[in-house]
Structure 1
Amino acid sequence: MKPRSVKQKSAFFILTLALILLPFALGLMGPSWVRTADYALLYCMLALGLNIVVGYAGLLDLGYIAFYALGAYMVAVLASPHLNIHVSPWLLIPIGAGFAGLAGAILGAPTLKLRGDYLAIVTLGFGEIVRLFMQNLDRPVNITNGTQGISGIDNLAFFGHSFGSGFDLFGQHFNGAYLYYYLFLILVLIIIGVCMRLENSRIGRAWVAIREDELAAKAMGINTRNIKLLAFAMGASFGGVAGGMFASFQGFIDPTSFGLMESIMVLCMVVLGGMGNIAGVILGAVLLTLTPEALRAVIHPLQEALFGRQVVDPDNVRMLIFGIALVGMMLFRPEGLLPSRRRKEEFHHD
């Protein structure tokens, strides 16, 4: 056991060192890559939250991005010059998480008897309702500034030092994306810890029981109503945290950031990585965030080298490759890249 323990400690040390140095390595490729890593961590938060609803409890949610929007607008409205209110984002983010969790419970209450496609349609409608509500909440009182969005959102600050101003190290200035990277990394680690505790708890086992057979779970004495509501609320609260962080990091939000395609993208991250498996969900989030940017950086120079000009829009090629990859995954590895042990056994058994 001792050599194995040493191996685990060495792997943990190497992984920790790699995560600490990662933004500096990405910065050598260009400053935009550090921001991409920040977005990857934000999507990790979203995917981990949706994994509770879809992966653990088996409830198909296509409106998850609505909770992301609620957390973002909570910070944007109350920590910006728009209404001339500058409440600290540190205070607003947990409030936004709580508000999103409450909204998740409210959404879950009327859908308790729905499953599968019906639940997906209802949650899809809820997501669109929230987006349109934020889009039209500019009259008669201008609260969200409608389609124009809200700009000038306050950055997070620590002991008076704004994250947006960055920091100096070894005579070189690093922008705020580096500081946000470490903050987002800490939050992702906290969320992973919470998910691991939930997965191995009585609540986590109750979610799995509902996912496998809700009638059998109810017959065994599980309060399916409360457990399903808790899944919606917990997942939504993580979305609210990610939304608040996104608003502070981006400094500008508008309703287009919270459309249906965003919900589908987060769901693809969960399915691609492996529903119900924390490591798989994180892998899916990282791949679907970084790979499109890598393709964007490759496709344009490749066309220039082959044809001397741009023949096809890089975004169209990128989405084509992305679609082909998803179809291939569903055909040849439907359980995901890193499936949970239970799902792997189910697919191999079938």
Structure 2
Amino acid sequence: MRKNLPFALFTAVITLVLSLPILGLKLTHEGTKLVLEGATQSTYVYIFLAAAAVFLSQLFREQLNAAKAAVKPKGNILAKLMPPEEKRDMAGKIFFVVLLIAAVLIPFNTGRIWSDIATLALIYVILGLGLNIVVGLAGLLDLGYVAFYAVGAYSYALLSQYFGWSFWVCLPIGALLAATFGFLLGFPVLRLRGDYLAIVTLGFGEIIRILLNNLTSLTGGPNGIGGIPKPTIPMLQFDPEFSIVNLEFSRRAAEGNVAFHEFFGVPYDSSLKVVVLYLIALVLALVTIFIVRRLIRMPVGRAWEALREDEIACRSLGLNRTAIKLSAFTIGAAFAGFAGSLYGARQGHISPESFIFFESVIILAIVVLGGMGSQIGVMVAAVLVVLLQELSREFDEYRLLAFGMVMVLMMIWCPQGLIPMKRPHLQLKQE
């Protein structure tokens, strides 16, 4: 304990030195002047309690580490709950079917608020699976992934506003434009790895946000774009003649479209458009899961994993490093474009403030929490993160603190994520 005393005092003093100016002082306006004021008494109490906690944790760190090792479970808890290897495929299929049935029934057994939250969770599932390709499989740290998300959202908003194109036409266009930006980003980062790659992608994300903020004549600047139409459903009409009409789920349909309740002769229900949007998000999430699953089993998926494990060995095997990196950035960005178009349809209004750096952090946290490269882990983490965000809205000032604490606990208890990616394991027979 004595040998830890100097370092414990040092860390406590550093905590006070950093916390007192940041939390204990603030600038306020008095007319045209800035006045420096102190914080409340409770704030100072919290600062000194934090310093005391840091002091005690460093003073008794050996005892704390021993206690942590005693209570820390050996191995991943969720991995232990999974069935044996020979039964895992069948159990996974049964679990997926049960989960799909439950997902379909969610909007019919909950209110519109929870259906809307479930839609947001599915959007983050798509984003997490897309970033999982870049970070989890290819091992390329991307901190500007939100830029592709913004490209997809603004593509749908602008194309629907200026050309009147429907959601189903803009959806692949948004994914294609986002993939194009991902392809263009891939070229300048071909020779970068680690922290350098993270800095360049972070800069790219900020460049896109600043462009959206400054191109006022096109994007509306800080005010954003409003009045984004909800998705419509194409329907065949045989009376009075054979034609295709777009069904809207609003009370009054736009010119050229037909209201859903008028087409089927049923009473108008305002919650129906939330249900339909959720089902569309569910279909797009299932398409994303299927495509990513197929890509992982294809040679390009094996190439991503080879690049992640050892880039030099990957090149020695004759694999084209340039093509592998570009394919990861391009395909990952395409899924962000999908999610962006869906987000614009859900919100009805977007602005550059919807695509700040913190969104990239959230998506990256989903990949890390779920397990690098693990599909089911990313999906579970996306749902948990969205629920954590929604349930902590009453404590808005402490949301980041709670989120950081959850991340730290996860790294202590499950450093490989909730459900780590299962890799092939070969063992030579012992003679």
Q: By the TM > 0.5 criterion, same fold?
A: yes
1:248 and 2:323 aligned: no
Give the residue type in structure 2 aligned to 1:231: A
- Cα distance in 2, alignment partners of residues 137 and 343 from structure 1: 50
Give the Å deviation of 1:12.
4.8
Give the Å deviation of 1:23.
1.9
8 Å Cα contact 1:167/1:176 also seen in 2: no
1:221 and 2:318 aligned: yes
Per the alignment, do residues 164 and 238 of structure 1 end up closer, same or farther by CA in structure 2, a change over 3 Å counting? farther
Give the residue type in structure 2 aligned to 1:339: P
Q: Could you report, residue by residue, the CA deviation over 1:111-158 in whole angstroms, capped at 9, with x for unpaired residues?
A: 0110010000000000000010011011xxx11010001101122111
8 Å Cα contact 1:335/1:343 also seen in 2: no
Name the SS for the 1:111 alignment partner: coil
Gaps of 5+ in 1: 301-313, 346-350
8 Å Cα contact 1:335/1:344 also seen in 2: no
The structure with the larger Rg is 2
Name the count of aligned residue pairs. 318
Q: Could you report, residue by residue, the CA deviation over 1:275-304 in whole angstroms, capped at 9, with x for unpaired residues?
A: 1000001111111001221233xxx5xxxx
8 Å Cα contact 2:128/2:382 also seen in 1: yes
Partner of 1:340: 421
8 Å Cα contact 1:131/1:258 also seen in 2: yes
Of 110, 114, 118 in structure 1, the residue corresponding to residue 188 of structure 2 is: 110
Q: CA RMSD, aligned part only?
A: 2.5
Of 19, 34, 56 in structure 1, the residue corresponding to residue 115 of structure 2 is: 34
Of 132, 138, 147 in structure 2, the residue corresponding to residue 57 of structure 1 is: 138
Of 149, 154, 176 in structure 2, the residue corresponding to residue 73 of structure 1 is: 154
Partner of 1:232: 329
Overall identity of the aligned pairs, in % = 46
Per the alignment, do residues 193 and 163 of structure 1 end up closer, same or farther by CA in structure 2, a change over 3 Å counting? farther
Give the Å deviation of 1:245.
1.2
1:261 and 2:358 aligned: yes
8 Å Cα contact 1:164/1:177 also seen in 2: no
Name the SS for the 1:221 alignment partner: coil
8 Å Cα contact 2:247/2:260 also seen in 1: no
1:15 and 2:90 aligned: no
Q: Could you report, residue by residue, the CA deviation over 1:236-272 in whole angstroms, capped at 9, with x for unpaired residues?
A: 0000111111112211000000110000100000100
- Cα distance in 2, alignment partners of residues 5 and 208 from structure 1: 22
1:130 and 2:205 aligned: no
8 Å Cα contact 2:300/2:324 also seen in 1: yes
Residue pairs, 1:299-314, within 5 angstroms: 300=394, 314=395
1:162 and 2:243 aligned: no
Residue pairs, 1:120-199, within 5 angstroms: 120-138=198-216, 142-159=217-234, 160-163=246-249, 173=269, 174-199=271-296
- Cα distance in 2, alignment partners of residues 130 and 79 from structure 1: 20
8 Å Cα contact 2:183/2:329 also seen in 1: yes
Gaps of 5+ in 2: 1-86, 235-245, 252-258, 427-431
Between 315-324 and 247-256, report the one with greater CA deviation.
315-324
Give the Å deviation of 1:325.
0.8
- Cα distance in 1, alignment partners of residues 343 and 305 from structure 2: 31
Partner of 1:348: none
Give the residue type in structure 1 aligned to 2:397: N
What TM-score do you get using the length of structure 1 for normalisation?
0.85
Q: RCO greater where, 1 or 2, for CA within 8 Å and sep 6 or more?
A: 1
Give the Å deviation of 1:199.
0.7
What TM-score do you get using the length of structure 2 for normalisation?
0.69
Give the residue type in structure 2 aligned to 1:248: A
